[in-house]
């Protein structure tokens, strides 16, 4: 299965560390929002208006207490359908 085949409510994993690129209001650019391997759930799927073929996934990742955090916009290459072991 591919990330592109997933739907709202499906579980995903951060394929790599996801950083604030400066687009989160009141956030800190460069801050780690989700470490590689963090589990999350897709809450919305959209696309870039200028590039309709490019999907954006809103994902709520779990924190250390296993509570879902705020939604984070992710690209397909930010996500994985299975957890990956990180060395």
All domains of the chain in start order, with CATH: 3-80 (2.30.30)
| Region label for 15, one of left (φ > 0), alpha (ψ between -120 and 50) or beta (otherwise) | alpha
Q: 67 to each of 27, 28, 32, 50, 56, how far by Cα in Å?
A: 19, 21, 17, 34, 22
Q: What is the pLDDT along the chain (87 residues), one digit of tens a residue?
A: 899 889 999 999 999 999 998 888 888 898 999 999 999 999 999 998 888 888 999 999 999 899 999 999 999 999 999 887 654
């Amino acid at each position: 299965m591919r990330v592109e085949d997933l739907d709202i409510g499906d579980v995903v994993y951060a394929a790599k560390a996801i950083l604030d690129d400066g687009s989160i209001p009141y956030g800190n650019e460069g801050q780690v929002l989700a470490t590689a391997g963090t589990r999350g759930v897709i809450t919305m799927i959209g696309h870039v208006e200028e590039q309709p073929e490019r999907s954006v996934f809103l994902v709520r990742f779990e924190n250390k207490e296993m509570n879902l955090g705020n939604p984070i916009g992710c690209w397909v290459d930010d996500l994985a359908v299975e957890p990956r072991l990180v060395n």
